Structure 1
C-alpha cells in the first residue's frame, strides 16, 4: 500500500467508526507528502510545533489554488460572509480575537461562562425531562444537537420566540457540513447557502436592534464595545456571531456524543461519574484526547520553507495537522489507546494550541461536564442499541450521526 492511498483510506467513510489504527500507520511517517503540495503531519510534537509556528498560515487566501480542496470540501466556500477570525492570520486575527474575548472571558469578563452554569443546568434537565416515558432515544437528535445551539442562542441574546428558527438554520447548516451521499449535491449546497443567508439577515437585524438598545448579552457587547482596538464593523460582528453558532455548535455536539458513546463502552467509568460528579472535569479532558471532536485541521499553508520531522515543507504548500493522531502518539502519552480519566499530564490537542487555540473551550468544557454528568445520573441502566453507531460523512468533525440509547427509565 502506498502512502497516498493511506490518506484516502483515512478520509473514506468506511474508516470513520475507528480511524485510529490508520492513524498509527500514518505516524510511521511523521510528515507524509501526498502529491506535490500537500503535507500531512500526524505526530504530537511536530503538530504542537507547527501550531505555534508563525510561518504557518490559517488564511485560506494564502493557499495555492486547489492545494487542499481535492480531498475535502471546504464548508465556507458557499458562505455569503467574509472569513471569521478563525481563518485569519495576525494582526487581523489577534485584533478580532481580543475584541471577541472581552465580552466572553478573562480578563475583562471572567465570569461570563461561570455565570451561565445555572442556565446550562436548566437546559440539560429540560431536555432529559423531555425524554418522558420513552425507553429509547436518539441522543444526537434529542439531546446533543439541541443543547449547544440553545446555549448559543442564550449567549448571543436571541429572543426565546426566535430560538426555533435558529435551530432550523443550525440544522440545515450542519447538514451542509455533513452531506447525505444519497442527496443531490446541488440541492444540498443551495439549502445550506440559503440557511446561511437567512441566518445572516436575521443576525444583521438583531445587531441593528442591539446597537440602539443593548442588553447584557454577548451580541450587545460586541456591537457596543470600545477599546484600544476600536470597534468591530457590522460585518465583523456578523461573522463572529456566525462563527459562535457554527464552530461552537458542531464541536460540542461531537464532544457530548462521543463522550456518551465512550462512557457506554466503559460502564465502570460511567458508574463512577454517576456517583462522583467531581470526575467530570478530568473525564472531559481525557475525552478531548481520546475522541476529539475535531480530528484534523486541513486548511493551513506555509509562508516559508519549514524543516520538521526530517522533511522540508516548501513555502506555499498545504499542511494538514491530524490532531486526533497526535493525541494517540505513544511518544507523548503512555498507553494512548486506553481511555483513562485519571490520566496525568494530559496536555492534549483537543482544542488545538497556539494563537488559534479554541477560544470557546471554557464553555464547551462546561457544557460537556454538565451534560455527561446529568445523563449518567438520570438514565437508569443506559446501553447502546448499536455499536458502532452510524457515523457522519465528515472526516474533520467526526462523530456519530445517530446514537440510539436504550434505558429502563429516568431517575429523578
Structure 2
C-alpha cells in the first residue's frame, strides 16, 4: 500500500493523538515541498524563527497565489481581516490601538488586576464538581474558564456567555487544514461568524452610547495617536479576541493537565509548590503547544531557505510544534522538564504576530493548573490517549475524563 505524503499524514486525524514521531520525520527534510502547488512546510526551530521575523513574509491573504485562501477573506465573513491577517503598517496601527486597552502603557495592570477574579472563577468551577468522582475536564473546566474570562474582559453580559460555544465551535472547525474539511463546514463557519459579528455589533452600538470599564468600550471610544478603529475594525478585532482569546487557552489547560497526569511526580510537586506553575506553563508551551502550525503565510518575493528557492506567492506552513522539539535547539527535547533552563519556545509564535493575549493565557493556565493540582485528590486519567479535536492547527483533546477520590477544601 502506498504511504500518504508526510504532510497529509500530519493533518490526518488518525495521527492527532501523537503527531510527534511525524514531526521528527519532518525535521529530516526541514524545507518540505511534496507536490506542485502544495505548501512549503518548515520544521526547524531556527528556520521558523527567522521566517516569523522576515519582513518578506506576509500574513495578508491578498499576497497568496490566486485560489490559495478560499473562503477566508472579507467576502466570506462579512468582516474585514483581523490584524493578525494584515501586514505593516496597517497591522501595527490596529494592534497598537487594541493593545492600548489590554496592557502597557495605558492599561498596565489590567491583566494582573484580574488575578483575584480569575481565582474566584476557578474556585467556583472546581466547587461545581460537587460529589462527583469523575469529570470531563474540557466541558466542566477548561472550556468555561477562559470563555468566561474573555467575555468579562470584553464586557459581554454574563447571561450571554453560553451562546458563544454554538458560534465558536464551527468557526474553529472551519480552520482545519485537513483536506477532508467540507464546503458545508466552511459555510457553517461563515454563518457562525456572521451571527457572532451581528451580536457584537449590538454591543458596540451600546458601548458607543454608554461606555463602561471594559475592553470593548475602550476599542469603540479609542482616540490614540493612531486614530480610532472603524466600527468594522472593532468588530473584526472583537471576533478575533473572543476566538483566539479562549480557544488556545482551552487547549493549553487541557494539554497541560494531560501532561501532568502523565508525569505524576511533577503534578505532586505542583500540588506542594504552586509557584512552580510559572515554569510548568513555559515548558508546556514548548512541549505541547496549543497552536501546532501557523498556516497560510506567504512570501512577497522569491526567497531562499537552505538552498531551496521558494517562489513569490507560495504558501508557507510553519510547524511550531516540530520546531519546539528540534534537537538542534533544545537538549533532550522529547522530555517534559519544567526545570529546563533554556526555554525560548515558539508556543506563542514570535515577531510582530506573536500572541497578543499571551500574558492573560499564561496567568489563566498558571492559576488553573495549580488549583487543579492542589484540590483534586489522587487524580488519574480514565482513558489515554483521550479523544482529540479534529483540528490539526489548534490541537487538543475534545474530552479529558479525569477520575479522583475527592476535593480538598478551597483556600
Tell me the TM-score normalized by structure 2. Answer: 0.94
- 2:33 match: secondary structure: strand
CA gap of 1:408–1:264, structure 2 versus 1, over 3 A, is same
- Distance apart, 1:188 and its partner CA: 4.2
- 1:34 match: secondary structure: coil
Partner residue of 1:383 out of 380, 388, 399:
380
Moved more, 335-344 or 243-252: 243-252
Counterparts in 2 of 1:204-283, with a 5 A limit?
204-283=201-280
Task: Name the counterpart of 1:85.
Answer: 83
CA gap of 1:47–1:4, structure 2 versus 1, over 3 A, is farther
Task: Name the counterpart of 2:130.
Answer: 132
CA gap of 1:282–1:146, structure 2 versus 1, over 3 A, is same
d(CA) in 1 for partners of 2:191, 2:40: 34
Partner residue of 2:283 out of 270, 283, 286:
286
- Residues 91-133 of structure 1: CA deviation (Å, up to 9, x unaligned): 1100000000001011221101101111111111111111111
CA gap of 1:8–1:186, structure 2 versus 1, over 3 A, is closer
RMSD between aligned residues: 2.3
CA gap of 1:187–1:42, structure 2 versus 1, over 3 A, is closer
Give yes or no for contact 1:75–1:177 (8 Å, CA) kept in 2: no
Give yes or no for contact 2:177–2:393 (8 Å, CA) kept in 1: no
d(CA) in 1 for partners of 2:56, 2:183: 37
- Distance apart, 1:384 and its partner CA: 0.4
d(CA) in 2 for partners of 1:82, 1:68: 15
Moved more, 302-311 or 90-99: 302-311
Give yes or no for contact 2:77–2:193 (8 Å, CA) kept in 1: yes
- 1:241 match: secondary structure: helix
- Distance apart, 1:2 and its partner CA: 9.4
Partner residue of 2:161 out of 154, 163, 166:
163
Task: Name the counterpart of 2:119.
Answer: 121
Give yes or no for contact 1:78–1:189 (8 Å, CA) kept in 2: no
Q: In the comparison of the two structures, how many residue pairs are matched?
A: 408
- Distance apart, 1:175 and its partner CA: 4.9
d(CA) in 2 for partners of 1:21, 1:208: 50
Task: Name the counterpart of 1:23.
Answer: 23
d(CA) in 2 for partners of 1:288, 1:331: 18
Task: Name the counterpart of 1:398.
Answer: 395
CA gap of 1:229–1:180, structure 2 versus 1, over 3 A, is closer
Counterparts in 2 of 1:338-357, with a 5 A limit?
338-357=335-354
d(CA) in 2 for partners of 1:211, 1:296: 37
Alignment of 1:9 onto 2:9: yes
Partner residue of 1:322 out of 305, 319, 322:
319
d(CA) in 1 for partners of 2:73, 2:372: 31
- Residues 348-370 of structure 1: CA deviation (Å, up to 9, x unaligned): 00000000000100000001101
Give yes or no for contact 1:146–1:167 (8 Å, CA) kept in 2: no
Tell me the TM-score normalized by structure 1. Answer: 0.94
- Distance apart, 1:339 and its partner CA: 0.2
d(CA) in 2 for partners of 1:317, 1:181: 18
Give yes or no for contact 1:264–1:270 (8 Å, CA) kept in 2: yes
Task: Name the counterpart of 2:329.
Answer: 332
- 2:7 match: secondary structure: helix
d(CA) in 1 for partners of 2:252, 2:144: 14
d(CA) in 2 for partners of 1:271, 1:45: 34
Task: Name the counterpart of 1:148.
Answer: 146
- Distance apart, 1:321 and its partner CA: 0.4
CA gap of 1:116–1:200, structure 2 versus 1, over 3 A, is same
CA gap of 1:264–1:74, structure 2 versus 1, over 3 A, is farther
Give yes or no for contact 2:378–2:404 (8 Å, CA) kept in 1: yes
CA gap of 1:9–1:77, structure 2 versus 1, over 3 A, is farther
CA gap of 1:390–1:301, structure 2 versus 1, over 3 A, is same
Give yes or no for contact 1:4–1:35 (8 Å, CA) kept in 2: no
- 1:346 match: secondary structure: coil
CA gap of 1:315–1:360, structure 2 versus 1, over 3 A, is same
d(CA) in 2 for partners of 1:93, 1:177: 21
